[in-house]
């Protein structure tokens, strides 16, 4: 086991090696790098703004407006991760060849396949199960299975016309009961097929809700952007755009070297 003295010695060794490495590079660069100051070289590079007067002043506030807008549009990417996770997993469950297709091959539909249960847990469902189906969803599944739309709508209207129609439509059925209801209205189905189709129906609804959610997010973001634009905070963008293409005359580097003082608008050196 290393002693405290050895640890301190190792730290001092690494710190000394780092300091020497940095110092050697700075000294070598001082003698090797070219030294050709001129007016063009001393100008602001890429992301800076041309200074007016002395450069020892605060930056133009317009620069911070651009920086804040960039941060807003950059941070919004973080909100895409939970949305993309939910959207991707819901569309995976809703796919025809997705993990829900394995339910039909099982002997019983009470237990979900491991891939389906894993997707449900990743979506936040601690105890996933699909042993019940709302009566309204059973009617929707009957239409999807091939039952006549007129027959399904007649049954739905009869249920809604009853005194407790809303409660009846919201009543949950077991997969066996839902299979019997669907078979009465159309083709015969098994409880496993009801479970599979119920999972796909729920996944499609979840995917649709994520589309609405991301649409609202973008709408709020665009309202904020147009508000900033309407206030005139970005009017300077148009003024800078109108100046683009103008010819800027620069003096020859030899003339710049003969000047006794630096350009007033720069604090950079070669």
Q: Which pLDDT score, from 0 to 100, does residue 56 have?
A: 63
Tell me whether residue 23 is in a domain.
yes
Q: Is residue 29 part of a domain?
A: yes
pLDDT band at 1 (very low <50, low <70, confident <90, very high): low
Contact 178, 134 (CB under 8 A): no
Instruction: Read off the pLDDT of each residue in 77-100 and give the average, rounded to a whole number.
Output: 82
Q: Assess if residue 15 is contained within a domain.
A: yes
- Residue 254 pLDDT exceeds 70: no
pTM as predicted: 0.55
Work out the pLDDT band at 13, boundaries 50, 70, 90: very high
Domain membership of residue 17 (yes or no) is yes
Structure tokens at 64: 């911070």
Tell me what the pLDDT averaged over the chain comes to: 76
Helix (H, G, I), strand (E, B) or coil at 172: strand
Tell whether 24 is covered by a domain. Answer: yes
Report d(CA 118, CA 107) in Å as an integer: 20
Work out the average pLDDT over 55-70: 69
pLDDT > 70? residue 50? no
Tens of pLDDT, residues 95-130: 888 777 777 666 555 667 777 878 877 777 777 777
| Strand, helix or coil for residue 19 | helix
- Residue 209 and residue 220: Cα distance in Å, rounded? 17
How distant, in Å, are the alpha carbons of 67, 95, 237, 241 from that of 229? 15, 42, 10, 15
Residue 251 lies in a domain: no
Q: Which two tokens stand for residue 15?
A: 């710190």
Contacts from 224-231 at CB under 8 Å and sequence distance 24+? 224/72, 225/69, 228/69
DSSP H or E run through 21: helix 4-32
Examine residue 223 and state whether it is found in any structural domain, yes or no. Answer: no
65 assigned to some structural domain: no
The crossing angle, in degrees rounded to 10, of helices 191-231 and 80-94 is 150
Cα distances (Å, whole numbers) of residue 154 to 159, 170, 183: 9, 17, 15
Structure tokens given for 199: 């999972």
Q: Which residue range(s) make up the domain with 20?
A: 1-33
SS percent in the chain: helix, strand, coil, step 5? 65, 0, 35
Please check the confidence at residue 65 and state whether its pLDDT lies above 60.
Answer: yes
Residue 151 pLDDT greater than 50, yes or no:
yes
The DSSP call for residue 101 is G
Among candidate residues 44, 62, 187, 206, the one with its CA nearest the CA of residue 122: 206
Please name the residue that has the structure tokens 């449900």. Answer: 120
* pLDDT at residue 22 tops 70: yes
Specify the pLDDT at position 219.
87
Number of domains in the chain: 1
Can you tell me the distance from the alpha carbon of 60 to that of 38, in angstroms, rounded to the nearest whole number? Answer: 25
- pLDDT of 12 over the 90 cut: yes
Q: Between residues 101 and 61, which one has the greater pLDDT?
A: 101
pLDDT of residue 266: 44
Q: How many CB atoms lie within 10 A of CB 123?
A: 15
Per-residue pLDDT at 182 exceeds 70: yes
E strand segments, the chain: 132-134, 172-174
Q: What is the largest CA-CA distance in the chain?
A: 99
Q: Which residue has the higher pLDDT, 264 or 52?
A: 52
């Amino acid at each position: 086991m290393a002693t405290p003295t050895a640890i301190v010695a190792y730290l001092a060794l690494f710190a000394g090696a780092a300091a020497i490495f940095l110092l050697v590079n700075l000294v070598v660069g001082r003698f090797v790098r070219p030294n050709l100051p001129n007016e063009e070289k001393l100008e602001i590079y890429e992301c800076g703004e041309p200074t007016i007067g002395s450069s020892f002043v605060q930056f133009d506030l317009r620069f911070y407006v651009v920086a804040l807008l960039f941060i807003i549009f950059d941070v919004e990417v973080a909100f895409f991760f939970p949305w993309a996770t939910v959207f991707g997993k819901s569309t995976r469950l809703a796919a025809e060849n997705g993990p829900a297709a394995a339910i039909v091959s099982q002997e019983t539909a009470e237990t979900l396949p491991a891939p389906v249960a894993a997707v449900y847990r990743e979506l936040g469902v601690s105890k996933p199960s699909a042993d019940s189906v709302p009566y309204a969803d059973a009617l929707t599944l009957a239409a999807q299975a091939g039952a006549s739309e007129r027959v399904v709508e007649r049954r739905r209207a009869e249920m809604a016309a009853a005194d407790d129609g809303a409660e009846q439509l919201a009543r949950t059925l077991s997969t066996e009961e839902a299979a019997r209801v669907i078979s009465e209205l159309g083709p015969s189905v098994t409880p496993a097929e009801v479970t599979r189709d119920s999972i796909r129906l729920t996944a499609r609804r979840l995917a649709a809700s994520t589309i609405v959610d991301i649409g609202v997010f973008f709408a709020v973001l665009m309202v904020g952007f147009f508000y900033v634009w309407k206030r005139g905070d970005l009017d300077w963008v148009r003024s800078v755009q109108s100046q683009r293409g103008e010819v800027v005359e620069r003096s020859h580097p030899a003339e710049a070297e003969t000047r006794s003082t630096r350009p007033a608008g720069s604090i950079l050196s070669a």
